[in-house]
Amino acid sequence: MVERSAIRRGPLRRILRILAGVLAASVLALAVLIVLYRFVPPVSTLMLARWVSFEPVDRRWMPLSAISPKLVAAVVASEDARFCTHGGVDWAALRDVMEDAGEDGPSRGASTIAMQTVKNVFLWPWRSALRKAVEIPLAMAVDLVWSKPRVMEVYLNVAEWGPGVFGAEAAARLHFNKSAAALTAREAALLAASLPDPIRRNPARPGPGLSKLAGSVTAKAAAVEFPGGCGLKGG
């Protein structure tokens, strides 16, 4: 009986060692990429998926200095009002979402710009408890290693603004026939308001719902203030 038990434990231990090795390698790879992407322009997992399936990708990497501050303010107002003051995760917003959750789970998200950035760059797009569990520590690590301007710069260059359209420059060229540096406050608000559903929301031809939402974003963006230590400038 003892021998049989030992036989059963042998394969289990090998499987556990393999899983532990895979986990350690994954953590190490992510750590290396986080440091590397502090300096090197990353691509998103959605971009990689399109390349693998031979679908077109339009992404034109631009430094943050070449993107309109109006878009920065609009994205902060729309996506993450406490971007400059939290450490990658807005725990207050996350707590509010969980407290408001019904029997079917949360009806809204609490993803910060850092969380959306790591989702786009390192993880998969569909929602799951596992992805969120990985997303939170990754966002905290990215916020620790990168500066706030770098987080914003990467996000604005990997965010999807339509099928195969990634980043603010490609979006501005497609929807408004101008560079991301030349966006008006209204155009910036339309782009920011379309981010939660960029496939169905068209900034160039906004419906009543998107127009109303963009108006709200415009008003909020005008009031956005960036603390001195944040490194960002308002529009």
Written as one string, the DSSP assignment of 197-221 is STTT--TTS--HHHHHHHHHHHHHH
pLDDT of residue 8: 56
pLDDT tens, 90-113? 988 888 777 665 444 443 467 899
Q: Could you tell me the fold of the domain covering 42-230?
A: Penicillin binding protein transpeptidase fold (1.10.3810)
**Could you give the angle at which helices 113-122 and 148-158 cross, rounded to 10 degrees?**
50
Which tens digits make up the pLDDT trace of 162-179?
999 999 999 999 999 999
Q: What confidence tens digit (pLDDT) does each residue in 213-225 have?
A: 999 999 999 998 8
pTM: 0.87
Which of 105, 50, 48, 83 is CA-nearest to residue 234?
83
How far apart CA 183 and CA 74 sit, in angstroms, is 11
B/e letters for 65-77, b = 16+ CB within 10 Å, e = fewer, are: eebbbbbbbbbbb
pLDDT confidence of 15, banded at 50, 70, 90? confident
